[in-house]
Amino acid sequence: MLSYLLKKSLYGIIIILSVVFSLSFIFFSFINKDGKAVYEMTGQNTDQKTVDEVKKAYHLDQPVWKQVLLYANDLSFVSVYPQETKRSGLYLFSSQNKKWLLKFPYLGKSFQTDRSVSKTVSTAMPGTVVLAFTAIFFATIFGIILGIFAAKYKNSWIDRTIIFLASGGMALPSFFAAVLISWLLGYVLHSITGLPTWGSLYNVDEYTGEKYLAIQNLVLPAFTLGIRPLSVIAQLTRNNLIEVQQLDFIRTAMAKGLSPNKVLYKHTLINIANPLITAISGWLGGMLAGAVFVEYIFGWQGLGKTLVDGLQKLDYPVVMGSVLTITCVFVLLNIIVDVLYAVVDPRVRLSK
């Protein structure tokens, strides 16, 4: 198990490094090419001296290759800096007027707010995580239930209706679904649903400034985000159940007199666990990265909205920090899923 996890972790590190170098090279090339990001920080009418000082502070006066290496150095756990550089971490040793530090990855500072990107991402991440897990929980429960009903009543009007709705759900783009659901359930039928069209996980009292939990704001974005994975899980459950029910060991279990429900829950569902885990984990990772439109339309304060705001304001450190965070989440989810395969299916051998 340990050697397997180390192997998967090595693959993950290679993927993350590839993203770091390719992403930083692209963004730093854009910054050096048009210089719009600098003028977004200083203003269009700023004198050249101020522009030069800003470039020097953010190392934008350096060649692109050097900016990429400096950024990679900031991201590493053990980094080397000039002695005068102020960076928090555990001091290790000095060599040739340079100091070596053991520290957490440093994602830089926002061009717009001068705030640490790590703080910006860590503030936005919980909202996206809550939204994604709520949506995938809703999609998994109802998707499996609908898939079981469709398989149980195969070729009936129930089966055809579920398949029709699932096909429509898969074809419905998230941004269009967000606009439609926001308008219909949050505006037209607001007197019945009582659900808002705009809001985040916490609301702020206008008078006291206190934050309080607003679960009602979660309903519409989670429902919107869960429509497509629900449709996929429903069809996947239905098709795999029908396929597994034709296998010999299921027929043997039925011939022994086991009830259909016992056969379903004890023998059939466990044999379709792997494709379901693959679908659920894939959609969960996609939600963490692809909730951009849903978060933006519903005004949900999460990583997706932070990413869009960063792109609009040419705040490249925030964009890069957000994308790298999403990449790390993808890698971690893939490792967890591979381990889950071995837990739910003894036929999977980690040693291979």
pLDDT tens for each residue of 211-229: 778 888 899 999 999 998 9
Strands (E), 20-102: 78-82, 90-95, 98-102
Query: Reduced to 3 states, what is the DSSP secondary structure of residue 301?
Result: coil
pLDDT class of 289 with cuts at 50, 70, 90: low
State mean pLDDT over 151-157: 88
For residues 234-251, give the mean pLDDT. Answer: 83
The number of angstroms, rounded, from the C-alpha of 211 to the middle of its chain's C-alpha atoms is 25
Q: Is the dihedral of CA 299, 301, 304, 305 positive or negative?
A: positive
Are residues 79 and 70 in contact, defined by beta-carbon separation less than 8 angstroms?
A: no
Report d(CA 336, CA 1) in Å as an integer: 12
Residue boundaries of the structural domains of the chain: 2-75, 117-344
248-259 confidence digits (pLDDT tens): 777 777 777 777
- When pLDDT is cut at 50, 70 and 90, the band that residue 140 belongs to is very high
Residue-averaged pLDDT of the chain: 83
Class of domain 117-344: mainly alpha
Confidence of residue 170 (pLDDT cuts 50, 70, 90): confident
